[in-house]
Amino acid sequence: MNRLRRLTVDARWPVAVAAGATVVVSGWVGRADLRELHGGLLLSVTLFLLAIAVGETARLTILTGRETSPMSTAAALGLALSLLKFQGSAGHVGAALVTAVVACGIIVGSLLLRATGARVSWVDMSARVAGAWVAPVLYRYVRFDGQTLVQWQEAWAHHRWLVGLVMLLVGGVAMLVDLVLEAAVRAGRDQAPLLPAVIDEVRSTVALATALVTSGALIALAAHAIGIAALPLFLFPLVLTSFAVQRYASIRLTYRQTIGALSGLTERAGYTVTDHGQRVAQLSLAVGRDLGMGQRELTDLEYAALLHDLGQVALREPIPMGATVLVAPADQQRIAHDGAEIVRTTGVLDNVAAILEAQTTPYRQVREFGQDLPLASRIIKVANAYDDLSAPGGENDERAIERIHLGLGYEYDPRVVDSLTRVLDRRRRLTTAHG
């Protein structure tokens, strides 16, 4: 199980290939249905396409750090679950054409966003395109007892609650596949273990995913009664929600910028070397991801790593090179305590203060006395020691690792040190590959 939790897979190229295959296959197979679109059905499909494309331009950044397009996702699910019957025929618009419309909407919206100068992650977009087929195929192609679910929808005309339940189930499966693909892409980009990334993605977005699945089902159910007017009617609440989420995201960004500025205080005052806090934060995050920490834990870890030397401002004389790893344990503890007390005065960073308070505690306190020492504190202790020992004027990388291994199990958590070794090995391989 531990080996499975540490499994690292770079799924970016496979997902990109799958996205290309989705576009080509769905476009080729759905071309026959495209020729049959006329009148109101053509208008409905076109409006869904526009809604998906416009929704892609209104992206939000959620807690996991990835961008999401709630209006586009809800519109895509609504299209996949809608009846969409050809006039004068018992046939329905097939899964291939629906998939092609959703994929094209995502691509067109991304191109529009890129044209405005915004940053677009084509790999993340590929993950969404690669998962665009799930809901249409399940609802419009796979047969249950000889009929597709869209055909069962007509048979259950007097049991709308049952139709709605099936729509929610199909939308839930489609959303789960989409989250897994996006988590796999993010894990490959961050070089993080796959399974923890998937678990964290699902856990962090379950509320939003539920709302989008419900909105998609409501659009499809209402379209049967009031037609295409259901699309703007049920997307409008998502527009209002987007404003609230964007405001929250801007507050979080300001928060991060303020903490970054506070982190630079020790550097500008001459207590620490240039960019020490940033390096420790980046290394701590890499180790945290390697150990499978969730995004909420990683956020606290980043803040604490940026502020881990804040207590040095209370010193009468700076430590040479700001290397706290080289001073007496009592001095280390005083610096950690002073930094934690400064952070506690904010009244909103209690978790970060607790991490800072424990950052100098030796690992033997856990091993011998069972003390509850936060994993984030153990990570910062190792990352700070590595940067202090390998910084200019310190020792080289290999000697730094050797020094850390001398304190293995006593000062430093062996699991964290093993993770640090893996992270550094990956960095060296990337440097060699790009060098």
276-297: pLDDT as tens digits: 899 999 999 999 988 888 888 8
pLDDT digits (tens, 9 = 90+) for 198-241: 888 888 788 888 989 999 999 998 887 888 888 888 888 877 77
Question: Helix (H, G, I), strand (E, B), or coil: what is residue 402?
Answer: helix
Domain 264-430 fold: Hypothetical protein af1432 (1.10.3210)
Q: Where are the alpha helices (DSSP H) in 141-229?
A: 149-155, 160-190, 194-226
Q: 70-81 vs 95-115: helix axis angle to the nearest 10?
A: 160
- What is the structure's pLDDT at 391? 65
Percentage of residues in the chain with pLDDT exceeding 70? 94
Q: What is the pTM of this model?
A: 0.77
263 within 8 A of 122, measured Cβ to Cβ: no
**CA distance to 20, 24, 217, 394, per residue, from 77 (Å):** 20, 20, 7, 57
The overall average pLDDT reported for the chain is 86
Distance of CA 138 to the CA centre of its chain: 26
pLDDT of 139 > 90? The answer is yes
Q: 70-81 vs 39-56: helix axis angle to the nearest 10?
A: 160
pLDDT band at 48 (very low <50, low <70, confident <90, very high): very high
- What is the structure's pLDDT at 304? 93
Bridge-partner residues for 61, per DSSP? 67
Evaluated on CA atoms 185, 188, 191, 197, the torsion sign reads positive
Q: Which residue has the higher pLDDT, 71 or 398?
A: 71
> In whole angstroms, what is the distance from residue 266 CA to residue 338 CA?
13
Extents of the domains making up the chain: 2-252, 264-430
- What is the structure's pLDDT at 284? 95
Contacts of 391 (CB under 8 A, 6+ apart): 273, 276, 321, 323
By C-alpha distance, which of 253, 258, 260, 292 is closest to 275?
Answer: 260
